[in-house]
Amino acid sequence: MEKEIREKGFSGFSGNQLKIFAIIAMTMDHLASTIWPGYGKEWWLLCIHLIGRLAAPTMWFMVAEGYHYTRNFRKYLQRLFIFAVLAHFAYNFCFGISPIPFRGSVLNQTSVIWPLFLAAIGLYIYDDEKRSFPLKNWQKTAILLVLCLLAFPSDWSCFPVLCTLHIYQNRGNLRKQVLGMVAYISMYVIVWCLCIDVVYGLIQFGIIIVWPFMHFYNGTRGKARWMKWFFYVFYVGHLVLCGILRLILHSNVTTIVGG
């Protein structure tokens, strides 16, 4: 396959290009939730939300890659934490959710950046080479459970933690990475179907569309170094703009479950 790609002059997707694809999918998804709140069943709206499923697994994949290549894990973790705090207020404003957690629900209480921050900690805990202190297996498992509990109220719940760790532990085995994510997300689908909406629960399986994008990932970051900041800034900024649009179109209405 790699030989065929080279012969056709296609060098694959860089990490920056994958982030652009994720940004486009994410923006479409959030705009759809803002303009058409609730869980409409029109085919074109379902298609938009299905495309939006590309964003989250791309984020998980890029955090695993970012952790692998970072030269300064502390700064990487600090960046995730800072934007997790900023994104909390932007995310809740976007969807009309109180910034004070658990006022109306235990679901969707903060953005996906928070569990991505926790996922990075999980990667470090399970990385015996980078970690500067010893841990036994039961201690790793206990810490992972705590990280999952902390991530549970977030967008995508604890699954960014579990999926990112699974992706990292199976680097080089794309089939196992993707099928493992789908297996984990099966539990998320069950929660969606029981607590929110069956159709939109099943749509969560759409994360599998990340497979060809991961397949053509060429292992490079890309030339634009500013992209590592642009993604986070765009994430916060587009949520704020969607929040303003929500107020203009619907007044102070909550557009997803969580408020």
Amino acid, res. 92: N
Confidence (pLDDT) at 183: 97
- The half-sphere exposure of 138 on its side-chain side, counting CA atoms within 13 A, is 0
Q: Is the dihedral of CA 202, 205, 207, 210 positive or negative?
A: negative
Confidence (pLDDT) at 124: 97
Q: What is the pLDDT of residues 4-37, one digit of tens each?
A: 444 456 789 999 999 999 999 999 999 999 999 9
Confidence (pLDDT) at 259: 58
Q: How many CB atoms lie within 10 A of CB 45?
A: 16
Q: What's the CA gap between 11 and 5, in Å, rounded?
A: 7
Helix (H) or strand (E) holding 166: helix 159-169
> Residue ranges of the chain with pLDDT lower than 50?
1-7
Confidence (pLDDT) at 42: 97
Q: How many CB atoms lie within 10 A of CB 139?
A: 11
Q: What's the CA gap between 27 and 31, in Å, rounded?
A: 6
What is the reported pTM?
A: 0.92
Question: What is the SS3 assignment for 38-52?
Answer: CCCCCHHHHHHHHHH
Confidence (pLDDT) at 5: 44
CB 257 within 8 A of CB 107: yes
Residues facing residue 110 across a β-bridge: 154
> In the numeric block, which tokens belong to residue 18?
């994958």
